[in-house]
């Protein structure tokens, strides 16, 4: 006698985004991204490099421990067995913010010697969204070539270029606008910045 199998619907999981912070200048961009994602109820998996921690202390009033507390899960950059290192781990994407030229080069070459570059490699091979908030200026031929090749592989290069039309009253306003535009790429609306609506009459 055949037994009928009943399908039990699985509860919808929260959206998951991996946030990686490297030692490039612009630590506040990663911090504000984590704050916005928490407010939007997105499950975050954070990886920070040693130099990201140093930059956080130098550039902001945050301590790395405070930044880690903003994430749902924190993984050591040396933990190559972390869940996010596998393509079988269901993530909705990854944002490297800020992204150093060293990390960009590692992603471009597939040199997965730490959890940030390995997880980015997973995002590319699994055809998931990978946003690299590249921080450097001016850009050399090497930087531009790496950006082009990584873009061809499926990543999105997002230099945090300020929008002057918002007539920002503070650096915070510029940061919020950049973070809002980054998260737009994941169809997430922070509601924290003015959008272009055409010339004001």
Check the annotation: does 3 bind a ligand. Answer: no
Check the annotation: does 49 bind a ligand. Answer: yes
DSSP state of 159: -
Contacts of 63 (CB under 8 A, 6+ apart): 56, 57
Nearest to residue 108, comparing CAs of 76, 48, 96? 96
Check the annotation: does 100 bind a ligand. Answer: yes
Check the annotation: does 101 bind a ligand. Answer: yes
- Angle, alpha carbons 193-19-109 (nearest 5°): 120
Check the annotation: does 167 bind a ligand. Answer: no
Check the annotation: does 102 bind a ligand. Answer: yes
Check the annotation: does 135 bind a ligand. Answer: yes
For residue 55, the surrounding DSSP H or E stretch is helix 50-59
Cβ pair 23, 96 in contact under 8 A: no
- Angle, alpha carbons 27-31-35 (nearest 5°): 165
> For the chain, what is the largest distance between any 2 Cα atoms, rounded to a whole number of angstroms?
76
Give the sign of the dihedral formed by CA 33, CA 94, CA 106, CA 143.
negative
* Binding-site residue positions for dimethylallyl phosphate: 165, 181
Residues making up the binding site for FMN = 23-25, 49, 100-103, 135
Give binding residues as ranges. Answer: 23-25, 49, 100-103, 135, 165, 181
């Amino acid at each position: 006698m055949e037994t009928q199998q009943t399908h039990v619907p699985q509860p919808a999981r929260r959206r998951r985004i991996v946030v990686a912070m490297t030692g490039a200048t612009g630590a506040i961009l990663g911090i504000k991204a984590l704050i916005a994602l928490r407010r939007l109820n997105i499950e975050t998996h954070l990886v920070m490099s040693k130099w990201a921690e140093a930059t956080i202390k130098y550039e902001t009033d945050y301590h790395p421990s405070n930044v880690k507390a903003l994430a749902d899960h924190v993984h050591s950059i040396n933990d190559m067995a972390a869940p996010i290192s596998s393509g079988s781990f269901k993530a909705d994407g990854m944002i490297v913010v800020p992204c150093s030229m060293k990390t960009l080069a590692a992603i471009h070459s597939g040199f997965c010697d730490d959890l940030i570059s390995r997880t980015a490699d997973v995002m590319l091979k699994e055809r998931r969204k990978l946003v690299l908030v590249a921080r450097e200026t001016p850009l050399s031929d090497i930087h531009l070539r790496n950006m082009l090749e990584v873009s061809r592989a499926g990543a999105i290069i997002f230099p945090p270029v300020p929008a002057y039309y918002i007539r920002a009253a503070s650096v915070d306003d510029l940061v919020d606008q950049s973070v809002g535009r980054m998260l737009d790429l994941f169809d997430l609306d922070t509601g924290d910045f003015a959008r272009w609506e055409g010339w004001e009459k």
